[in-house]
Structure 1
Amino acid sequence: MKLSQDAAETIGLKCLAWLAEQEDLLPVFMGATGASVDDLRNGAKNADFIGAVLDFVLMDDAWIEAFCTAGGLPNDMPMRARAMLPGGAQMNWT
């Protein structure tokens, strides 16, 4: 089942909220992206930023599992949500 962009953004916002609660992981995200606390607040209104949050969490299976467990989501949901946001289309090189 394909998600709507609104549903994908909602999942991304949940991921951002989860990430903000992770004392060990949030500084890694902020360091890797150069994002400030203000960027986190303002980024919640921006589908590109939400996509970047999902991209970051999707880099590690343990992060995906922790987010999905905390949110009661299937483990494939962040990937499916990311695909519906700007820049999330998968490339086919065939």
Structure 2
Amino acid sequence: MRKPTRNPREVAEIVAIQALSFVAGDPERLGAFLAESGIGPDTLRNAAADPRFLAHVLDFVMRDDATVKAFAEVSKLHPTNIAAAHQALNDPDSERDAP
């Protein structure tokens, strides 16, 4: 049975959730992210449901080449796929529920 096809925005959200897990796995990185985002650790899970927040997660990861490389290695994604997810979440013309 074939898996359902996902739209680029949905795939980008999945990558961003993986990136959030990556960020949360390192106390120093998580501290920097929380300070920058202005949210507390207790609201992190709820914030992850917001596509704008997920875009911010990828903004944070993409800002530093070493972070991108580390996330790519952990997630087994190519850095260009991470960049594509970043672009998809930051594209104002992209619809979340588009076919």
Q: TM-score w.r.t. structure 1 length?
A: 0.84
In 2: Cα distance, 1:26 partner to 1:4 partner: 26
User: For residues 33-72 of structure 1, what are the structure 2 equivalents within 5 Å?
Assistant: 33-72=37-76
Pick aligned residue for 1:25 from 25, 29, 45: 29
RMSD over aligned Cα atoms? 1.5
Q: Does 1:77 align with 2:81?
A: yes
Show structure 1 runs of 4+ deviating over 6 A: none
In 2: Cα distance, 1:54 partner to 1:39 partner: 18
Report sequence identity in percent.
Answer: 30
- The structure with the largest helix share of the pair is 2
Larger Rg over CA atoms: 2
Q: Does 1:7 align with 2:11?
A: yes
Superposed displacement of residue 84, structure 1: 1.1
Q: Which runs of 5+ in 1 are unaligned?
A: none
Q: Which runs of 5+ in 2 are unaligned?
A: 1-6, 93-99
Number of aligned pairs?
86
